[in-house]
Structures are given as C-alpha cells and as structure tokens.
Amino acid sequence: MKKSHIIAIVMIVAAIGIFISSGSDMTTFSTFKEATATQKVVKVSGDLVKNKEMYYDEQENPNLFTFYLKDSEGQERKVILNNAKPQDFEKSENIVVTGKMQNDEFVATDMLMKCPSKYKDEEIYVKSKETASIMN
C-alpha cells in the first residue's frame, strides 16, 4: 500500500471522527423547559411577545435589554441581554437567543434576529399621496 493512501485513509478516519464529534456542535433548538432542566448554555428559538414589556433605557444602563420570548412550546420567559438593544428589534419575527436560565430568567449572551427585510417587500413606491396609497 502506498504511503499517500495510508495518509488518505487516516484523513478519512479523522474526518469521520470529526463529523461524529462535531455532532455536539449541531443542535436543534431548545425550549425554556429543557434549559431549566439542563442549566447549560443552549439556544432557544421563539417569538417576541409583543404585548409584554420591552425594557431598554440607554441612559440608565446601555448594556441591559430585557424582553419576553415565547418558545416553540408556548412558554414565555423574560430574556435578559447584556448588550444594547439592536436596531429594528420590534420588527423581528423570530429570535434565537444563546444563554442559560438563571432563576426563571434567561440570561442571553448572544442573540440572532430574523427580520423581514424591508428591501425585499413587493412594493411599488408612488410619488405623491394624492394619487394613490402604497400598494402591495
């Protein structure tokens, strides 16, 4: 057997090993229930609860933003983010937070928002208000 073949086989074995080990990097999204149970860093995907308080007062603390998130099971929890409130947050449809539960609150270290992009709307812009309203 050639040396390069041996090395190639070693690499293939390594690749399989990495794929198996990196399985732990791949997650489905957690729920608040699971997060409470594991007490580990998890990702929770959910929707913003629009009728509950969203708090950000940059003059009080520019690094504190809290809001309520409803996970896929319908559970609502307060999320505390240690960062500034992102732009267009209210518009987000779906939010993914990374963090862990602490006393019934989810302390997030990272957050990803999925926003309907305003530039992808199928809209015709009309010159003046008198002629027509913006149509969809």
Distance of closest approach, residue 122 Cβ to other proteins, in angstroms: 6
Q: 39 or 94, CB closer to other proteins?
A: 94
Give the Cα separation of 33 and 41 in Å (integer).
13
Q: 15 or 37, CB closer to other proteins?
A: 15
Give the Cα separation of 109 and 61 in Å (integer).
16
103 binds other proteins (CB under 8 A): no
Owner of token pair 């812009």: 125
Contacting other proteins within 19-78 (CB under 8 A): 19, 22, 25-29, 43, 58-59, 62-63
Give the Cα separation of 8 and 5 in Å (integer).
5
